Amino acid sequence: MVHAFVRALGILFDRRILGVLGACAMLSALTFVALWWVLHWLLTSVLVDTGPVQRVLDWLGVLAALIAAWFLFPVVTSAFVGLFLDRVARIVEARHYPLLPPATGLPWHQALLAALQFFGLMLLANAALLLLWFFPLAYPVGFFVVNGLLLGREYYDLVSQRRLDLPAARALRRRHEPELILTGAGITFLLTVPFVNLIAPVFATAAMVHRFESWRRPAAQAGGG
């Protein structure tokens, strides 16, 4: 995983990726601001105007909304990762795997539908995780394990299905499930680091391409491919 992350870091300085990075950072920033605003509005709209106490509660609402937005950010970004994943994957492949044939790719509507399905699943999973909020150690562990599993699968599925049919992609995923969860947990962590999370989806895509190719090649050689 570390090797894939180091190689993914290098692609961020590729001039071909700068436009994607800019678009991703802008979209991520707008997403975070919108998420914070909605959460703040929901929190403050239920409060009663009580003068000075109201101002204190407003500031507490701002803080609570920021914390909630920070934890929900990985969930929300999962909805738009499919918008630029194929382009990032093609840039990584052109630089590091130039002998690969052109990928079939995912139609944009199929990638968007898959991303939205994952978004719904992650929303439900993270809503269920709120039950652990009052257990100091259980919630952080559950947050990284659950989101690591889901985000790892999302990025893997979108990357792998560009080159493999669904049964082959799932079979390869099952053989590397523990590594995939660990990679997903690393992606989840990056999505919770301020400023880093603005470009984390691009970085995560590049890292997953390297992970996928490192898993696929031994499997292809073992099968005589």
Give the model's pLDDT for residue 224: 41
Give the model's pLDDT for residue 60: 64
Residue 75 pLDDT more than 80?
A: no
- Say if residues 60 and 40 touch (Cβ distance below 8 Å): no
What are 165's two structure tokens? 């049919």
Span 56-83, average pLDDT: 68
Measured between alpha carbons, how far is residue 171 from residues 43, 135, 161 in Å?
Answer: 44, 36, 12
Give the model's pLDDT for residue 102: 86
| Percentage of the chain modeled with pLDDT above 90 | 12
- Say if residues 154 and 106 touch (Cβ distance below 8 Å): no
Residue 222 pLDDT more than 50?
A: no
* Residue among 36, 96, 33, 80 nearest 200 (CA): 80
Q: Would you place residue 221 in the very low, low, confident or very high pLDDT band (cuts 50, 70, 90)?
A: very low
Of 113 and 223, more confident: 113
Of 31 and 171, more confident: 171
Give the model's pLDDT for residue 68: 67
- Model pLDDT for residues 190-216, shown as the tens digit of each residue: 888 878 887 888 889 999 999 999 998
Q: Would you place residue 180 in the very low, low, confident or very high pLDDT band (cuts 50, 70, 90)?
A: very high
